[in-house]
């Protein structure tokens, strides 16, 4: 087997530079760059690897200087949203408070199903230098660090305690980042000594990989059940969420509204699914919504939710849909969201489902 000797950080940088996503035949860089603040824990690891990549051209992974760890995660989440979740930045921070400053951003990303790769530096795997800086000394166990706080707000978490663990961890990270259902914050905690530890890596690990983002097809029987409910509706309403935008369903959604005459309200994430001046657009819905949308929601007997997770803002804490017999049809790529409100679920890509 052909191998190349690199540090764990150098291997990670080279790996990330060769990851691509693809949907509908369009390929793009999955990880276009790395935000970072360098300090205790990542200067000799990720910092050195990014500098080497930039000066030698060994890997094309641009570095962007940040001034606040939480801010760089929020910027990365905004970028992923703008790219319809087909690209995601990585964020590196130093051991201790530098890394834990990213936790709020991780919660934002996971809550809103937006991909971001977090690379918090961690305590020494060898524990030769305990305690390090803001290391959490837990009397219940020696393997607990402050980065364990990321577990609750990450869709995938792993601690790379040996160089060879990076291979399955990095591949799993890319899988989650490109999964429309499971995506969110992905955290690879990197002990600072392991970042700088050399290892013989299989060359295969660094090949160009294309992660295909599919469009799940709706089940025919589920489509018929949904259509039956909509056909029988007297006052139907569509609620367009972020999934309608991320799937590129804007054109077919407008055509569907025009063909059926069903008005379209939108959530915060669904802005743009239907243009504000479209004849069937009634504006935002819920506690920060428009009068028109909320009045229609109050009277709706069937609600077609497309790509929405029905947050409390959208539903005005379950008060906006006032008809006691209101029924829901939820078109969503995630079954978790498709079955909310005891709905008739239509588990599929939003564009194909419409």
pLDDT of residue 140: 85
* Residue 133 in this model has a pLDDT that exceeds 80: no
Q: What is the C-alpha to C-alpha distance for residues 31 and 38, in angstroms, rounded to an integer? A: 19
Q: Which CATH superfamily groups domain 220-353?
A: TPP-binding domain (3.40.50.1220)
Q: What is the C-alpha to C-alpha distance for residues 314 and 48, in angstroms, rounded to an integer? A: 45
Determine the average pLDDT of the residues in 257-262: 97
pLDDT of residue 147: 94
Q: Residue 53 is encoded by which pair of tokens? A: 């990549």
Model confidence pLDDT, tens digit, residues 199-212? 999 999 999 999 99
CATH of domain 3-212: 3.40.50.970
Model confidence pLDDT, tens digit, residues 143-167? 889 999 999 999 999 999 999 999 9
pLDDT of residue 28: 98
The b-or-e profile of 145-175 (16+ CB within 10 A means b, else e) is bbbbbbeebbbbbbbbeebebbbebbeebbe
Q: Residue 156 is encoded by which pair of tokens? A: 């995938």
CATH 3.40.50.1220 maps onto the chain at: 220-353
Query: Looking at residue 95, what DSSP letter applies?
Result: T
Residues contacting residue 141 through CB under 8 Å, at least 6 positions apart: none
pLDDT of residue 1: 79
Strand partners, 159: 189
pLDDT of residue 132: 82
179 touches 171 (CB < 8 A):
no
Half-sphere exposure (Cβ direction) of 178: Cα atoms closer than 13 Å: 23
pLDDT of residue 229: 96
The pTM (predicted TM-score) of the whole model is: 0.95
The residue whose two tokens read 């969110």 is: 184
Residues contacting residue 287 through CB under 8 Å, at least 6 positions apart: 312, 313, 316, 317, 320
Q: What is the C-alpha to C-alpha distance for residues 57 and 354, in angstroms, rounded to an integer? A: 45
pLDDT of residue 187: 98
Q: What is the C-alpha to C-alpha distance for residues 119 and 127, in angstroms, rounded to an integer? A: 19
Least confident span in 101-110, 141-150, 189-198, 324-333: 141-150
**How many C-beta neighbours within 10 Å does residue 283 have?**
18
CATH 3.40.50.970 maps onto the chain at: 3-212
Helix (H) or strand (E) holding 290: none
* Residue 236 in this model has a pLDDT that exceeds 90: yes
Which ranges constitute the DSSP H helices of the chain? 8-16, 48-56, 69-82, 97-100, 103-111, 166-177, 192-195, 220-231, 242-246, 250-260, 291-299, 312-315, 335-338, 350-353
Model confidence pLDDT, tens digit, residues 245-255? 999 999 999 99
């Amino acid at each position: 087997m052909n191998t190349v000797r690199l540090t764990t950080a150098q291997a990670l940088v080279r790996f990330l530079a060769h990851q691509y996503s693809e949907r509908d035949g369009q390929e793009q860089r999955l990880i276009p760059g790395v935000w970072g603040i360098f300090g205790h824990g990542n200067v000799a690891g990720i910092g050195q690897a990014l500098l080497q990549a930039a000066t030698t051209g060994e890997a094309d992974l641009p570095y962007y200087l940040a001034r606040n760890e939480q801010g760089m995660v929020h910027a990365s989440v905004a970028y992923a949203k703008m790219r319809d979740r087909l690209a995601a930045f990585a964020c590196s921070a130093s051991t201790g408070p530098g890394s834990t400053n990213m936790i709020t951003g991780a919660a934002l990303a996971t809550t809103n199903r937006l991909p971001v790769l977090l690379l918090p530096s961690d305590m020494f795997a060898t524990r030769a230098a305990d305690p390090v800086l803001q290391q959490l000394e837990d009397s219940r166990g020696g393997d607990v660090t402050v980065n364990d706080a990321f577990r609750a707000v990450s869709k995938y978490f792993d601690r790379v305690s040996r160089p060879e663990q990076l291979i399955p961890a990095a591949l799993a990270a890319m899988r989650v980042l490109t999964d429309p259902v499971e995506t969110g914050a992905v955290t690879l905690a990197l002990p600072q000594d392991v970042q700088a530890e050399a290892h013989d890596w299989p060359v295969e690990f660094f090949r160009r990989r294309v992660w295909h983002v599919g469009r799940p097809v709706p089940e025919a029987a589920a489509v018929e059940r949904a259509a039956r409910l909509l056909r029988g509706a007297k006052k139907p309403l569509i609620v367009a969420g972020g999934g309608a935008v991320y799937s590129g369903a804007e054109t077919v959604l407008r055509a569907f509204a025009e063909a059926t005459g069903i008005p379209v309200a939108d959530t915060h994430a669904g802005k743009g699914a239907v243009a504000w001046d479209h004849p069937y657009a009634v504006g935002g819905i819920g506690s920060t919504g428009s009068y028109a949308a909320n009045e229609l929601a109050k009277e709706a007997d069937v609600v077609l939710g497309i790509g929405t997770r029905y947050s409390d803002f959208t539903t005005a804490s379950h008060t906006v849909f006032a008809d006691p017999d209101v029924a829901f049809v939820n078109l969503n790529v995630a079954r978790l969201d498709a079955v909310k409100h005891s709905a008739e679920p239509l588990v599929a890509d939003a564009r194909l489902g419409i």
